[in-house]
Amino acid sequence: MTGTCFDRSILNLTGFQKNLVKEFYGSKFCFYCMAIPEHLSLTIPKSDLPRVVIIGGGFGGLKLAKGLRKTNVQVVLLDRNNFHTFQPLLYQVATAGLEPDSIAGPLRQSFEGNPNYFFRMVKVTGIDPEKNEIETTVGNLAYDYLVIASGSVTNYFGNDQIKKRVLPLKKIVHALDLRSHILQNFEQAVLTKDKSKLQQMMNIVVVGGGPTGVEVCGALSELKKHILPRDYPDLDFSGMNIYLIEGTDRLLNGMSKASGDNSLKYMKRLGIDVHLNTMVEGYENEVVKLSNGNIESSTVIWSAGVKGNVLDGIDTSAIEHNRLVVDEFNCVVGSNNIFAIGDVAMMKSEEFPNGHPMLAPVAMQQGVHLAKNLKKSFTKKKMIPFSYFDKGSMATIGRNKAVVDMPGGFHVKGLLAWLIWMFIHILYLIGFRNKLIALNNWIWSYLTYDKGTRLIIRTFHRNKMKSS
Q: How many domains does the chain have?
A: 3
Tell whether 54 and 24 lie within a shared domain: no
Residue 389 falls inside a structural domain: no
Neighbouring residues of 432: CB distance < 8 A, sequence distance ≥ 6 = none
Residue 359 falls inside a structural domain: yes
Tell whether 193 and 233 lie within a shared domain: yes
Residue 393 falls inside a structural domain: no
What are the φ and ψ backbone dihedral angles of 252, each rounded to 5 degrees? 50, 60
The pLDDT value given to residue 24: 55
Residue 370 to residue 288: CA distance in whole angstroms = 44
Q: What is the pLDDT of residues 342-374, one digit of tens each?
A: 999 999 999 999 999 999 999 999 999 999 999
Tell whether 170 and 139 lie within a shared domain: no
Kindly report which listed range (230-244, 331-345, 427-441) carries the lowest average pLDDT score: 427-441
**CATH for 173:** 3.50.50.100
Residue 255 falls inside a structural domain: yes
DSSP structure string for 236-252: -GGG-EEEEE-SSSSS-
Residue 226 falls inside a structural domain: yes
For residues 238-267, give the mean pLDDT.
97
Residue 229 falls inside a structural domain: yes
The pLDDT value given to residue 434: 86
pLDDT at 21 over 60: no
Position 28 confidence tier, pLDDT thresholds 50, 70, 90: very low
**How far, CA to CA in Å, does 131 sit from each of 42, 223, 228, 326?**
17, 54, 57, 21
3-state helix, strand, coil in the chain (%, to 5): 35, 25, 40
29 contacts 4 by C-beta, under 8 angstroms: no
Instruction: Indicate the average pLDDT of the chain.
Output: 90
Closest CA to 179 of 219, 218, 230, 212: 219
Residue 318 falls inside a structural domain: no
The answer to whether the pTM exceeds 0.75 is yes
List, in sequence order, every residue forming a beta bridge with 156; answer none if it has no partner: none
Q: What is the pLDDT of residues 138-162, one digit of tens each?
A: 999 999 999 999 999 999 999 998 9
Tell whether 166 and 247 lie within a shared domain: yes
Position 236 confidence tier, pLDDT thresholds 50, 70, 90: very high
Q: Which domain holds residue 30?
A: 1-40
E-assigned strand segments in 137-240 = 139-142, 145-148, 152-154, 167-168, 203-207
For residues 91-110, give the mean pLDDT.
93
Position 202 confidence tier, pLDDT thresholds 50, 70, 90: very high
165 contacts 71 by C-beta, under 8 angstroms: no
Helices (H), 203-281: 211-222, 228-231, 257-269
Closest CA to 26 of 13, 40, 14: 40
Question: Which three-class secondary structure state does DSSP give residue 295?
Answer: strand
What crossing angle do the helices spanning 360-378 and 59-67 adopt, rounded to 10°? 30
Tell whether 200 and 249 lie within a shared domain: yes
**CATH for 97:** 3.50.50.60
The pLDDT value given to residue 468: 56
The pLDDT value given to residue 27: 47
